[in-house]
Amino acid sequence: MMMRLLLSNILMVLSLFAVPGAMSQKMAIEPYVTGLDIPMDVKNCGDNRLFVACQGGQIRVIDADGTLRPVPFLDISSKVHAAGEDGLLGMAFSPNYKTDGKFYLDYIGFVGGQIATYIEQYSVSTADSNVADLSSALTIITQLQPGNAHVGGNIMFGKDGYLYINLGDGVEANDSLHAGQDVTTLLGKILRIDVTNSSFSQPYAIPSTNQFYNDPTPGIRKEIWAVGVRNPWRSSMDKFTGDLWIADVGELNVEEIDYQANNASSGTLNFGWSIVEGDSCYNPSSACNKTGITMPIYEYLHNGAAACVIGGYVWRSVQSKALFGTYIFTDWVLKWIKGFRQTGGAVSGSVTTFMTASQLQGRPISFGEDWMGDQYILFSSSGTVFKISDTSSQRHPKAYYTSIDLGGGTSYLLQGLQGKNLTYQWLKNNVPVTGATSPDYNVTDSGNYSLVVTNDLGFTDTSDLFSYRASPLDLISFRAQKTMSGAIALKWETTYELNIEGYNILRKQDNETDFSKIGFVGSQSVNGLSTTELDYHFTDSSTTNYRKRFYRLQIVHADGSFTYSNIVYVSSDPAKNGYLIFPNPAHGQVQLYLNQYTAPVIMTLYDNTGKEVRRQTITQQTSTIDLPASKGVYIIEVSDKEGSNKVRKKLVVD
């Protein structure tokens, strides 16, 4: 009965403070903009604006200065049934919004007098970026609802470029339709679809990596990404990692937060409803079969009392180092705000209460996030968007950057994470670089680089080091191959070495996020110098089960600094046509890793219209592919030289 009280007349306090000493944090909210009519969702399109979806069917635009534009971005109130849990519930902007101008809505309307969920696509007006084109409406999915309870309402794009859609089990209580475990219905599921080339004749495609894509079972819904959810009202993707967080509203006793790492095996997780509620048996009430069920990363009990978990976002704003990486969530009934971090899919450290019920006198209904990672919160019966801030008197910013290889390891773009009222200074070997005071910095010279960020209180933070050295080494190949015994043989050759100490062998596999050292091979060069070809070998004899293993060399220099080789991979899959692309999304270049192909192979890159934009013959296990400058979704096709054994994968260029 999660949203029955949606229109309750609850007064909202304007500033809220957390329990003193909790994570040494003070958290406050302040009104950001008011004058909205029951706001339900807050999203950004990749620029300084915020877009607010209101229950009645309007979307309003908030400019960068916090001004609410008087003319709605979109008004579909004539289509929307806005009562109880129904209305305009969610929206999402295309990952390519800057070029394609597309956005998507989740709302409740009618089909022949019956309540239904609509997923619709719209486009921005070509004449005014603050107004949508109402005539561009394209219905993507229509799902009849058995009632107006547990309709879900969250939509979002993953880092894979696909649209994720949350649908509840559709009934008032007890999963009476048994939708949670029924794969012939979309109810009680998380869906994943491809809307890249949506049209009236084909509104969406099914990603080939959805688990049921090749399942011949009659009636099975191949759109399904995850099963066994009850009412996933609010979910989010970590904007850095792509990890999926699902806050699923419970039945009688348990509220749960489910989690799926971005690098987890593709689909289809079963979160258990209504076999289990949280990790407790529900139907049957005892001795239930939990085989194959993914248990929550976190749950809390309310033992029959009212409760309703509301999911938020992982904090990625540079304004607070202490909060950075913390998943923020709340409860509509209990009216607190809490947070925790995760490591390896489990809660790391304690769950912190930032705000309590006595301090929070309104009912939180949804969170939002702007393009810089700052977070916002909405409350039932309040027409105001509130901004969440760390107000600790000694709060430090977070210095964080990502690195992009611009020239095959000869130059890098270091992109600092941006925030308001911050100053930036790049250091080289701990010395400030003159004039390097913007968030981004181009590295072309050898050295150890770091970024110092200072906030308006004068507190600073220094990033991790980025070590770059114009490598005194010519590494002409690095390969990984399975042997008959199942071991992995690594081989590499150099034609020139100068003051090389040796090679640390690094490995990661499957869901691991970081490389680990598994061995060391010393340099064969005499007196630190070689101008002839040297062959190196290392065997990884580990028998640990794996699906994919990744290897790289950490090249250790005599002065203690180091550089890295490219990454190679092997798969336990005996198929002859596997490959990986990394990173994805990518910018400038992407690495292509072949597994068991017989070289040479042909790589063809297509844009989202199907036009061929690049073709390249690949002769090595690992190759670098130069990408077009235009952002968007592309398709990489790999085939053997005769054109057979074609495999296609989606690539997002950002």
Whether 498 is in a domain gets the answer yes
CA 637 from centre of chain:
24
CA distance 414 to 532: 35
Which range of residues forms the domain containing residue 259? 36-314
Whether 343 is in a domain gets the answer no
Last residue of a domain, one of 412, 432, 467: 467
Domain with residue 522: its CATH number is 2.60.40.10
Last residue of a domain, one of 427, 444, 467: 467
Note the pLDDT tens digit of each residue in 196-232. 999 999 999 999 989 999 999 999 999 999 999 999 9
Whether 409 is in a domain gets the answer yes
Q: Which of 10-24, 258-272, 527-541 has the lowest mean pLDDT?
A: 10-24
Q: Mean pLDDT throughout 619-630?
A: 80
pLDDT surpasses 60 at 68 = yes
CA distance 240 to 258: 18
CA 288 from centre of chain:
33
Same domain, 271 and 221: yes
Distances (CA, A) of 286 to 256, 274, 277, 280, 291: 19, 13, 11, 8, 14
User: Is 224 in contact with 187 (CB distance < 8 Å)?
Assistant: no
pLDDT surpasses 50 at 15 = no
Domain with residue 597: its CATH number is 2.60.40.1930
pLDDT surpasses 70 at 240 = yes
pLDDT surpasses 70 at 327 = yes
User: Is 297 in contact with 247 (CB distance < 8 Å)?
Assistant: no
CA distance 246 to 127: 37
Q: Give the pairing type, strands 431-432 and 460-462.
A: unpaired
Can you give the pLDDT at residue 497? 87
Same domain, 596 and 551: no
Whether 630 is in a domain gets the answer yes
Q: Which two tokens stand for residue 200?
A: 């009236």
Using H for helix, E for strand and C for coil, what is the string for 294-358? CCCCEEEECCCCCCCEEEEEECCCCCCCCCCCCEEEEECCCCCEEEEEEECCEEEEEEEEEECCC
Same domain, 189 and 126: yes
User: Is the model more confident about 611 or about 329?
Assistant: 329
Q: Mean pLDDT throughout 537-560?
A: 89
Distances (CA, A) of 25 to 21, 151, 325, 394: 6, 35, 14, 9
Can you give the pLDDT at residue 1? 36
Q: Which two tokens stand for residue 221?
A: 């819904």
Residue 224 burial by Cβ neighbours in a 10 Å radius (0-12, 13-18, 19+)? buried
Whether 654 is in a domain gets the answer yes
Can you give the pLDDT at residue 6? 35
Same domain, 72 and 92: yes
Could you give phi then psi for residue 100, rounded to 5 degrees? -100, -15
- pTM, two decimals, is 0.74
Concatenated DSSP letters of 347-362: EEEEEEEEE-TTT--S
Binned at pLDDT 50, 70 and 90, residue 350 comes out as very high
Same domain, 568 and 599: no
Note the pLDDT tens digit of each residue in 72-84. 999 999 999 999 9
Same domain, 581 and 564: no
Residue percentage of the chain with pLDDT more than 70 = 93
Whether 28 is in a domain gets the answer no
pLDDT surpasses 70 at 590 = yes
Same domain, 84 and 206: yes
Last residue of a domain, one of 314, 333, 350: 314
Note the pLDDT tens digit of each residue in 287-305. 999 999 999 999 999 999 9
Q: Mean pLDDT throughout 522-532?
A: 89
Q: Please report, to the nearest 10 degrees, the dihedral formed by the alpha carbons of residues 371, 141, 120, 332 taken in order.
A: -50
Can you give the pLDDT at residue 600? 77
CA distance 109 to 116: 5
Can you give the pLDDT at residue 577? 58
Same domain, 183 and 287: yes
CA distance 377 to 365: 8
pLDDT surpasses 80 at 117 = yes
Residue percentage of the chain with pLDDT more than 90 = 69
User: Is 647 in contact with 579 (CB distance < 8 Å)?
Assistant: yes
Whether 22 is in a domain gets the answer no
Binned at pLDDT 50, 70 and 90, residue 572 comes out as confident
Buried b (16+ CB within 10 A) or exposed e, 299-314: bbebeeeebbbbbbbb
CA distance 150 to 630: 40
Can you give the pLDDT at residue 242? 94
Same domain, 476 and 462: no
CA 567 from centre of chain:
22
Same domain, 192 and 281: yes
Q: Give the pairing type, strands 224-227 and 269-270.
A: parallel
Whether 390 is in a domain gets the answer no
Can you give the pLDDT at residue 474? 79
pLDDT surpasses 50 at 280 = yes
Element (H, E) at 100: helix 97-100
Same domain, 283 and 186: yes
Can you give the pLDDT at residue 599? 65
SS3 27: strand
pLDDT surpasses 90 at 593 = no
Closest by CA position to 506, among listed 416, 432, 439, 566: 566
Same domain, 228 and 121: yes
pLDDT surpasses 50 at 189 = yes
pLDDT surpasses 90 at 13 = no
Beta strands in 125-266 (DSSP E): 132-144, 155-157, 163-167, 189-193, 224-227, 234-237, 244-248, 254-260
pLDDT surpasses 80 at 38 = yes
Note the pLDDT tens digit of each residue in 130-158. 999 999 999 999 999 999 899 999 999 99
Query: How many domains does the chain fold into?
Result: 4
Helices (H), 154-302: none
User: Is the model more confident about 470 or about 339?
Assistant: 339
Q: Mean pLDDT throughout 538-553?
A: 89
pLDDT surpasses 50 at 508 = yes
Can you give the pLDDT at residue 476? 80
Q: Output the average pLDDT for the chain.
A: 90
User: Is the model more confident about 67 or about 16?
Assistant: 67
Q: Sheet with 401-405: list strands edge to edge.
A: 401-405, 412-416, 440-443
Q: Mean pLDDT throughout 519-545?
A: 91
Note the pLDDT tens digit of each residue in 491-502. 999 988 888 999
Q: Which of 24-38, 209-223, 385-399 has the lowest mean pLDDT?
A: 24-38
SS3 618: strand
